[in-house]
Amino acid sequence: MDVLSNSDASQNLKHSEIESFFDSAPQLKDRDDIDRRLDEFIKKNSQSSGKLLRVVCVTSGGTTVPLEKRCVRYIDNFSSGHRGATSTEYLLKAGYAVIFLNRRGTCQPFCTSLPEDPLLSCFEIDKEQNLQVLGSQSEAVMRAVGEHRAATDQGLLLKIPFTTIFEYLQMLQLTAMSMKTLGTHAMFYLAAAVSDFYVPWESMVEHKIQSAPGPFDMRLVQVPKMLSVLRNYWAPMAYCVSFKLETDSKILLEKAEMALKKYEMNAVVANELTTRKEEVVLVTSNERIKVHRDNTQPDAVVECPLIKLLVENHSAYISTR
Ligand code: PMT
């Protein structure tokens, strides 16, 4: 009989949970296409004239947990995608190529400063039947279109959309494994709000759950944490930044410190739900840095100083390896 230590046994248990999650998840329909696009993107952006370039995977938005295979109802996770989209803009400005793994329908890079009016009310058709941007909106729309076009024309932005927890984790795995070759030049910026509990595919009902009197019981299983696998197997040399969101400020920093150590992250961005657009704390193994939005500038965002700091830390990480 094999005798396992407690830590070996718990490692094995975690591995089997992860394997069973992937084995039972419905396969991605466009898996080969995503794999091909990732490969092309990384080949193109990994070096230029012999110089190694940097690529970051930004995850953004919340994952859903379907309750039925032919899904009518699902549990959702709060996240507008603003953090991921805005951070992507600053990472592109800092010279990174960005893989934007994003929840369908959430905020997109370069759209965060657009007017809130529905898209169609930003345009009019003139007498010559040309499409014109309406006067008051034109500056913001033109800037957004121009910056987005520049990033996509240069092949620096690859968008991969997900909805469910099954799609998200399979896509994260594919992305991380293709970024492994980038070594220390890869960064993960894990701002997505990932479901903690889910209904395993094999125990999920096929059809719409019918209404019935009385309470309805459903068994949810814990989603295996993928941060350790990402760190240790998928892309072990990458610079990894995870996020910690809490609503109780008293436990926030303690939880961020715990995540930093437990998952061996290079940095954890701690944020509180109500103040997340004003301030965050960057927690690393030797410091806690409060990062604030510049209140003297009307359009300033906290992601601007945050990304500046992370880029400096990533540079230091590359040079010490
Ligand atoms: O999108 P916005 O509205 O702008 O809001 C931004 C944000 C608040 C969503 C963002 O800043 C943020 O904090 N994102 C992480 C929120 C979260 O769900 O934290 P968590 O404590 O559940 O997870 C911590 C980390 O573990 C995350 O980096 C997550 O990607 C990762 N995780 C979580 C669960 C799981 N099964 N596997 C994981 O890898």
pLDDT tens digit sequence for 162-214:
999 999 999 999 999 999 999 999 999 999 999 999 999 999 999 999 998 88
- Residues 256-273, mean pLDDT to the nearest whole number: 97
Mutational test site, ligand 1, from 65, 103, 243, max ligand atoms within 8 Å of CB: 243
User: Does residue 158 have a pLDDT over 90?
Assistant: yes
Cα radius of gyration (the chain): 21
Mutational test site, ligand 1, from 58, 79, 293, max ligand atoms within 8 Å of CB: 79
**Distance of alpha carbon 42 from alpha carbon 60, whole angstroms:** 20
Task: Assess contact for 147 and 42: CB atoms under 8 A.
Answer: no
Q: Which residue has the tokens 């003297």?
A: 296
Work out which ligand 1 atom sits closest to the CA atom of 222: 36
Residue nearest ligand 1's atom 6 by CA: 83
Lowest mean pLDDT among 46-60, 111-125, 161-175: 111-125
Residue nearest ligand 1's atom 9 by CA: 79
115-136: buried (b, 16+ CB within 10 Å) or exposed (e) per residue?
A: eeeeeeebeeeeeeeeeeeeee
Centre of ligand 1 from the C-alpha of residue 143, in Å? 30
Centre of ligand 1 from the C-alpha of residue 201, in Å? 23
**Distance of alpha carbon 80 from alpha carbon 191, whole angstroms:** 11
Sort strands 157-162 and 97-103 into parallel, antiparallel or unpaired: parallel
* Rounded-to-10 torsion of CA 24, 38, 229, 285: -150
Indicate the pLDDT class of residue 1, thresholds 50, 70 and 90: very low
Query: How distant is the alpha carbon of residue 273 from its chain centre?
Result: 17
**Distance of alpha carbon 277 from alpha carbon 279, whole angstroms:** 6
Give residues (CB < 6 A) around ligand 1: 79-83, 190-194, 196, 223, 225-227, 242-245, 271, 276
